[in-house]
Structure 1
Amino acid sequence: MAAGHFGKTSDIKTQFTVRDGTYRQASRPSFDRIPRSPSNALRIPPIRASFLNLKGAASSSSVQERILFNIGRDLFFYPFPGLDKQVDVTRPLDKRVYKGTYPTCHDFNLMTRSWESVQLIIGFSTGPVQLMNPIRREVLRLFNEQTLIDKTQAMCIKWVQSTEAEFLVAHRSGYMYLYNAELPCSSHPPHYAVTKQSGDVIVSHNKSKGKNPVCRWRISQTGINQFEFSPNLKLVAFASQDGFLRVVNYETYEVVGQMKMYFGGLLCLAWSPDGLYIAVGGEMDVIVIWSVVDRQPVAQGEAHRSWVNVIRFDSYLYGHAGRRLSVWNDDGGGGGGGGGGSGDEDRDEGDEEEAVNHDGLLQPVKYRLGSVGQDAHLVLWDLFEEDLISGGVSSKSRSLLRAARQLSLHGRSFRTPTTVAAAAVANHIEAGNEELTVTATADSSSSNRVDGEDGSDSSGLVTLTASVMQELNAVSPLVNKRVSSDYVTDLIFREECAVIVSQDGAIRFWARPKCTDSIDAASDEGKQQDQPRTLAEQAGSNGRDDSPPGTVV
């Protein structure tokens, strides 16, 4: 997309107000002036960021967090002091410059991290994978160095969190490989023996024991854009360029569900914090919510004007942190957390009305979802229980949900269809069962899927045609704001902020409502002592360049 398609720079927002308060773009830390190596702008892969929280800090005053990101041929590793301090961009903890290839994806090993050492895996545009320790600036091992395993770009790379040494790499070829960091690669192209085939997924193991890769997954005839493990690490979901969402049991290799976009590739996905739903986005410019319980789509949202690059659930507003947003229809409006005045020009009108149903009852937000894309916009979505009920039984289920809220006002408990299904599927997965056949309705004793009536075939595959999309629950965006001068490549929700990364190299930190006051105070206090300096002034202050030398792959 050309830069002119993004509109005027003045359209870029620096704050917006939603139900839980006002989000503001923090002025610090800033990574805007990082010196970079020359790169071909047309070949630069998407810029991604990873955060690392170290264990065993030397003292309470030590900066325990790190941030790592790739820009062109460079890979940067910096301390992350939080939102109230600046970072000297001329002094990274480590910087790598690669020749002949670009870093495309990376992931930290959270199982073995410590103050002295951390394992980082990096995938490259030409296929190799590097294992290194950025704290000690050591390259530990190279995998697929001669591209005998796969010659295509590494698209997504992740450590297997249930182990300390295994990691997965997905490639543009449609294959995903399991590596063991302690094993060497074969000196010749590996040979495989098929272990399991389930639908389109074929899993094969390396015939050479004790060599990498341990096994190979054939997921798609086209590239794998992203894969993610479920919160309990038993299922893995794949978003591929052929438009498919595939959900596979990681232990048995069985395909337990799949869905296909009507056209275009599927670029991104995210699991809900409780593992009951998967949100996807891609080249159809819409987001779709897929139910793990029903194995079918239940909702869709239209807001983006171009491809959706990244989608994330905000687990700090629901799930792990145990917090839930709620809006009450009273004379005081609907603010759930304050932080923004009624005169804010960026307030989205109608937020309160959308959050309360036609009966005027309490409507808790079940999930907060964020998406970013090629249109340089950030879109936030609040999902309610009513949005996640499949269309065929929505009438009675919606009535039950309204009754549940009414009873909750009088201090009485009520098990809604969704909560019953949630408990059932959690127990089902924990028991190790492969098939998920629990129905998320209280008025039907059979599955909601009827062949031919909902776009599904005899195998349960649902294709999102125009008619199927019209039958899904329509979700309205909570916020739709332009936040960048270039298309957005990454979105990360943290406890204190949301991190937005764009292809021009800008990394923006949006402070949550509870942090905005402290950020403003810190900004005022540091104006005198943190006057911005040019890179030439910063370099001249010490008379030398302290950036570590680059590594050539």
Structure 2
Amino acid sequence: MSAPAFGDGNALLAPEKTKDPNKRRKPKNNMTKSNSSFISRVIINEAFSKKLSDRPSDGLFAFANINRAFQWLDLSSSTKADYLTKILFTKAHCLSHDVNLVTKSPSHIDIIMGFSTGEIIWWEPMSQRYTRLNKNGVINKTPVSQIRWIPGAENLFLAAHMDGTLVVYDKEKEDAIFSPEEEETKSNGEGATPKVVDHYREINVLKSVHSKNQKNNPVAVWKLSNQRINALEFSPDNRHLAVVSEDGTMRIIDYLKEELVGVYNAYYGGFTCVCWSPDGKYVLTGGQDDLISIWCPSETTLIARCQGHQSWVTSLAFDPWRCDERNYRFGSVGEDCRLCLWDFNVGMLHKPKATSSRQRGSVSSRLPMLHRAETQGTPASRLRSDSVVSAADGDEENRINHPVEPLSRTAILPPVLTKIADKDPLSWIEFTEEAIMTSCKTGHIRTWSRPSDSPAQTDS
């Protein structure tokens, strides 16, 4: 079943109709002629137009934020390092960016970038036009740790700010000074009941997507924590959001309903990265404890911990070309410069260690994940990431907040491959059909060819 659109039912969020539905709206300002103090310099390849016209239709673009520079690369080019565009920013560092897969076409790409100053840029590289949002931190002054387009949306994107707040923006709306709304309603009909905000809970809706006040940004604001959000990822069915934080928690949120579904705690320290399996059954988290955890949210169960890194895990990704209904392959990279590959299968669900990982007397692991939202009215104490509080008392809060599992009760998974992939700490991993791609913190992007019948291949 396809998920409804985010904000469905709120007519104020519907994109304006254009005369030509195939013609996309572009940002207001020309970046090459900008006199903004935010942008230091824009360098466009002298053969820009020729390179675009000559490239294959199935070629890959890459976008990379490196220090105070943002680069647009063509991976189908014989000279991959020759950027199509390079933007230098005066003081701010771009910390995260994302491409809108709904609006992309051979002549249009919508990109959002989040900066260390809290500001956001919407950029359309084909026309070199841009718009600044959250200018001077008018909505939130803290850095943007991660930014993502909301699945299926043309205009809406989600920014994770380092004060523990998630903010939904519309790329075409003007900004306004934000003040939390006292009463939020989740119904558009008459007699709508106010949404109760419990300040002891793990999510605090400061502005709902269903608010009638949608003239300006922000569209919605959710306060999750007083510590920084490190990463977030939407589920493949576009119904849930996994958010990991410096406070050592992973939160599963039904973002369509703006409700918390579950809170899972790290063994030690904060979580640094997160990703969903292609079928949405499993969630991976990497953390400051050098471990990768495999979670099954529908069973509220920790399946296994993966040991193989010798420092913080920085990025995770499933390999969709090596996953089926029973077997899963994923990769990870870390501060230890290692690239690790891992395999697991559904048979692990039946291992004694995995099934006994629930503490005695705890809430049944078979309770469907989506039913947990019903217990949200009960105040939940904030459990530390190293808490050993038992769920034996069966309190309602434990239906949502799941304490840390001891290592002795958890299956341990070793990597099937581990390799020193760079001399500098690694920061990103992604799979393509032909290769595994990694990047390091000094700006090298490496493409590792998959094994084939030909003689051994090395990284290109």
Relative to 1, partners in 2 of residues 1:61 and 1:241: Cα closer, same or farther, differing over 3 Å?
Answer: closer
1:451 alignment counterpart: 391
Structure 2 unmatched runs, 5+:
1-51, 185-194, 357-365, 376-389
Instruction: Tell me if structure 2 keeps the 8 A contact 1:314–1:368.
Output: yes
1:260 offset after TM fit, Å?
A: 1.0
User: Which of the pair has more CA radius of gyration?
Assistant: 1
Instruction: Tell me if structure 1 keeps the 8 A contact 2:180–2:206.
Output: no
- CA RMSD in angstroms comes to 3.2
1:245 alignment counterpart: 250
Match of 1:101 among 92, 96, 101: 92
1:51 alignment counterpart: none
Match of 1:163 among 153, 160, 171: 153
Instruction: Tell me if structure 2 keeps the 8 A contact 1:283–1:308.
Output: yes
Counterparts of 1:299 and 1:255, CA distance in 2: 24
Counterparts of 2:427 and 2:355, CA distance in 1: 36
Would you say 1:378 and 2:339 are equivalent positions?
Answer: yes
**Equivalences for residues 505-516 of structure 1 within 5 A:** 505-514=443-452
1:61 offset after TM fit, Å?
A: 3.9
Counterparts of 1:283 and 1:372, CA distance in 2: 13
Q: Once the two structures are superposed, what CA deviation does each residue of 1:264-286 show, in whole Å capped at 9, x if it has no partner?
A: 11111111111111111111111
Counterparts of 2:354 and 2:407, CA distance in 1: 16
Instruction: Tell me if structure 2 keeps the 8 A contact 1:451–1:460.
Output: no
Report how many residues are paired.
Answer: 371
1:80 offset after TM fit, Å?
A: 1.5
Q: Once the two structures are superposed, what CA deviation does each residue of 1:307-330 show, in whole Å capped at 9, x if it has no partner?
A: 1111111112115xxxx8xxxxxx
1:230 alignment counterpart: 235
Counterparts of 2:164 and 2:183, CA distance in 1: 16
**Equivalences for residues 212-223 of structure 1 within 5 A:** 212-223=217-228
2:64 alignment counterpart: 69
Runs of 4+ in 1 over 6 A off after TM superposition: 57-60
Instruction: Tell me if structure 2 keeps the 8 A contact 1:390–1:472.
Output: no
2:202 alignment counterpart: 200
1:128 alignment counterpart: 119
Instruction: Tell me if structure 2 keeps the 8 A contact 1:122–1:131.
Output: yes
Structure number with higher relative contact order (C-alpha < 8 Å, ≥ 6 residues apart): 1
1:144 alignment counterpart: 134
1:11 alignment counterpart: none
Instruction: Tell me if structure 2 keeps the 8 A contact 1:388–1:473.
Output: no
1:390 offset after TM fit, Å?
A: 6.8
Would you say 1:80 and 2:80 are equivalent positions?
Answer: no
1:100 offset after TM fit, Å?
A: 1.2
1:77 offset after TM fit, Å?
A: 0.3
2:29 alignment counterpart: none
Structure 1 unmatched runs, 5+:
1-56, 325-364, 396-420, 437-449, 524-553
Relative to 1, partners in 2 of residues 1:112 and 1:518: Cα closer, same or farther, differing over 3 Å?
Answer: farther
Match of 1:387 among 348, 370, 390: 348
Relative to 1, partners in 2 of residues 1:519 and 1:306: Cα closer, same or farther, differing over 3 Å?
Answer: closer
1:318 alignment counterpart: 323
Relative to 1, partners in 2 of residues 1:480 and 1:189: Cα closer, same or farther, differing over 3 Å?
Answer: same
Counterparts of 2:355 and 2:372, CA distance in 1: 28
1:165 offset after TM fit, Å?
A: 0.9
Q: Once the two structures are superposed, what CA deviation does each residue of 1:477-513 show, in whole Å capped at 9, x if it has no partner?
A: 1112111101100001111111010112111101112
1:66 offset after TM fit, Å?
A: 0.8
SS at match of 1:316: helix
SS at match of 1:237: strand
Instruction: Tell me if structure 2 keeps the 8 A contact 1:451–1:457.
Output: no
TM-score by length of 1: 0.62
Relative to 1, partners in 2 of residues 1:233 and 1:62: Cα closer, same or farther, differing over 3 Å?
Answer: closer
1:517 offset after TM fit, Å?
A: 5.8
Return the letter of the residue paired with 1:204.
L
